[in-house]
Amino acid sequence: MNCLRSLSYIKKISKEYKHYGLETIIVHPPEWEFEKSAKNIFCAFKKYNIEFPVIIDKNKRIIKKLGINFWPAQILMQNGKIVYRHVGEGNYKKLEEHIAKLLKIKRRNAFNEEPRYSKLPAIYLGKRKNGKITGLKNRLEFGVGYKKGIWAQKLDFLESKGKKCSLTISTKGKIINFVAESTNKKPINVFVNLNNRRIKKLTVTKPRLYNIVKLNKSRKSSLTIISKQNLAIYSFSFQ
């Protein structure tokens, strides 16, 4: 989610400065196995209207050479040398200032002020990210997945294995998303309860980011995902 947020700001900067000589390239270090698939990446190009050249850094060799171990990150290079580096989200106006200075032009003001973005942490469910999974309890702790029914924790995701499974989390923010897929490639109906009230039915198929709900205001809630077998949930993110 933080990469998608960053992408929207990079698009604005690229639009303002590409005619002055700025070349924008995305280096994509896959976080999960499905992100290594060229087919899945191409689908993301279309979904998010990405027109930049993209380098798939499967083994993270490029970002290691650039000294990057966290993303999103913004790097400016001129004549083969790194002249500016920022790791993480934010500092977009500072990035723009450096671009204008390097191109020796007046700043175009892609942003009137530094963009604000959510700093709420994601909840990861796989073993690789030390996902915390336990049985359902009355009191929910943010960052923990509370399961009911049969689930299997895999390296990158939590997979439903029973005929009726539910996963409950404590949420924050106005917008709730999750990364999920159907492990048998067949569409799965997923029901969503917010504070014990049914609010939505989703159909999950290919691996991608799905929006679960958009609220009128930021608040803490209890969210429950209900599904049959073959639902893989990688993470939840909040805005």
The domain spanning residue 145 has which CATH number? Answer: 2.60.120.260
Task: Give the pLDDT mean for 154-183.
Answer: 96
The 10s digit of each residue's pLDDT in 52-87 is 999 999 899 999 999 998 899 999 999 999 999 999
pLDDT more than 70, % of the chain: 100
Residue 114 lies in a domain: no
Residue 45: per-residue pLDDT: 86
Residue 76 lies in a domain: yes
Backbone angles phi, psi at 101, to 5 degrees: -65, -45
Residue 215: per-residue pLDDT: 92
**Helix (H) or strand (E) run with residue 38 in it:** helix 38-47
Residue (of 125, 200, 106) closest to 167 by Cα position: 125
Q: What pLDDT band is residue 204 in, cutting at 50, 70 and 90? A: very high
Backbone angles phi, psi at 27, to 5 degrees: -100, 120
Q: What pLDDT band is residue 221 in, cutting at 50, 70 and 90? A: very high
Same domain for 205 and 171: yes
Check: pTM over 0.85? Answer yes or no.
yes
As given in the structure block, the two tokens for residue 184 are 């048998």
Residue 163: per-residue pLDDT: 92
Residue (of 140, 131, 136) closest to 159 by Cα position: 131
The 10s digit of each residue's pLDDT in 16-37 is 999 999 999 999 999 889 999 9
- Report whether pLDDT(214) > 90: yes
Residue 60: per-residue pLDDT: 93
Q: Are 72 and 88 in contact (CB under 8 A)?
A: yes
Residue (of 170, 176, 166) closest to 221 by Cα position: 170
Residue (of 212, 193, 190) closest to 203 by Cα position: 190
Q: What pLDDT band is residue 113 in, cutting at 50, 70 and 90? A: confident
Distances from the Cα of 39 to the Cα of 43, 208, 230, angstroms: 6, 12, 21
Q: What pLDDT band is residue 117 in, cutting at 50, 70 and 90? A: confident
Same domain for 234 and 127: yes
- Report whether pLDDT(116) > 90: no
Mean pLDDT of the chain: 93
Q: Which domain holds residue 96?
A: 2-103
The 10s digit of each residue's pLDDT in 124-139 is 999 999 999 999 888 9
Same domain for 57 and 17: yes
As given in the structure block, the two tokens for residue 78 are 């001129």
Q: How many structural domains comprise the chain?
A: 2
Which amino acid, 139?
R
Report the C-alpha gap between 198 and 239 in whole angstroms.
21
**Which one of 103, 138, 165 terminates a domain?**
103
Report the C-alpha gap between 54 and 20 in whole angstroms.
21
HSE of 140, CA atoms in CB hemisphere, 13 A = 19
Same domain for 128 and 79: no
Residue 157 lies in a domain: yes
Residue 109 lies in a domain: no
Same domain for 234 and 142: yes
Residue 111 lies in a domain: no
- Report whether pLDDT(119) > 90: no
Q: What pLDDT band is residue 5 in, cutting at 50, 70 and 90? A: confident
Same domain for 196 and 165: yes
